[in-house]
Amino acid sequence: MTELSLLPPEAAGHPNADIAAIMQWLAARGNRSANTFEAYKRTAEKFINWVYSEGKSLPELTVNDITCYLSALEEAGLKPASVNYNRTILNQMFQYLVDLGHIQKNIIKLAPIPAVEVGEEPTRFLDLDAWVWLWQWLTSRPALKPKDININIRDRWLFALIYHTGLRREEVAKGSMSDIQYRNGRWALKVVGKRHKIRHVSINSLLLQELKQYRTALGLDELPSSGEKYGLVIPLKGDQTRRLTPRAIGLMIFECKEKALLDCEEDYIRVQLSDMSTHWLRHTNTTHRYMAGASSETIQDEQGHADPKTTRTYLKTLPGKRSEDAEKLAQLHANAVTGKN
């Protein structure tokens, strides 16, 4: 098992016993996935190094110590959600150490929970910073094994496809390359959505570039032809014309997310990536379109929302947009006062 990376425990009372107990917790509770192990390990390292820098050992800690540690995380720039994420993991660790007999009480339970402001912003999407980090990771991650090359190519295309179109995973699974067509002076993807409703989703310039790169890497023509039988995402093995299931699409997103989390060191981004699903990417498309200045009408049509109220749930709280519109009122007032038209 990977050892903890620790600072010299100069003044610690029983560092070896602390480390042994933490490693036992990691082995017992961190084995659900590689991401879980790395998240727990990183949190434990950060905490135990702080404990040792304070000249203490785990059994000597008080509630006040935990409060000071959580405050230190906030002072270091962590968002409240990230601080709570650390607190949750430490709570699990302390409870295990109580059951193990290494410490007497789970003092994490007694420490105050950092307040997380409840805003109006929709939360089931990636912030622009988080998406940029993820995209840069997708486009630069190394291929450790020969098979990784094809996986990386596929994942990059899949994330680009969903981010730029906002497709549901069922729509990705059912879609065909031949449904990408040049219509009325634009590239668009014919999509059969809920209740068999057909819509044509725009293919922007960046997605068209990603499409060409994906197909070229697979040895296909840059652009699909009307007679092609390939799906939007082509299987890595077996019959390449076979359609993937919605569950397979979701699993690809999940497995890629788990790998990304292993390399992500920004806690506030990790919090978002941990919760990310295929539908989160759809919500991200909606929100980022609006941030870029798209109208609610075009977003509704592109997303295939039957009710405009559904679209509004994603658009109602972008502070930047609201501030921009508030300035329009200021400009109207200023123009009226000065007599400008």
Delimiting residues of CATH 1.10.443.10 domain(s) in the chain:
128-318
pLDDT value, residue 317: 52
The span from the CA of 123 to the CA of 45, in Å, is: 29
pLDDT value, residue 157: 97
Sites in the chain below the pLDDT cut of 50:
1, 7-14, 118-122
The span from the CA of 274 to the CA of 117, in Å, is: 20
Strand partners, 199: 191
- Compute the half-sphere exposure of residue 221: CA atoms within 13 Å on the CB side of its CA: 9
Q: What CATH number does the domain located at 15-110 have?
A: 1.10.150.130
What is the distance in angstroms between the CA of the first residue and the CA of the last residue of the chain?
Answer: 72
pLDDT value, residue 7: 44
CB proximity list for 230: less than 8 A, separation 6 or greater: 176, 177, 178, 220, 224, 240, 241
pLDDT value, residue 123: 59
Tell me the CATH class for 128-318.
mainly alpha
Q: What is the pLDDT of residues 253-290, one digit of tens each?
A: 999 998 998 888 888 888 889 888 888 898 888 888 88
Q: What are the DSSP E strand ranges found in the chain?
A: 180-183, 186-192, 198-202
pLDDT value, residue 266: 84
How far is residue 211 from each of residues 87, 132, 169, 201, 203, measured CA to CA in Å?
42, 19, 18, 15, 10
Delimiting residues of CATH 1.10.150.130 domain(s) in the chain:
15-110
pLDDT value, residue 322: 58
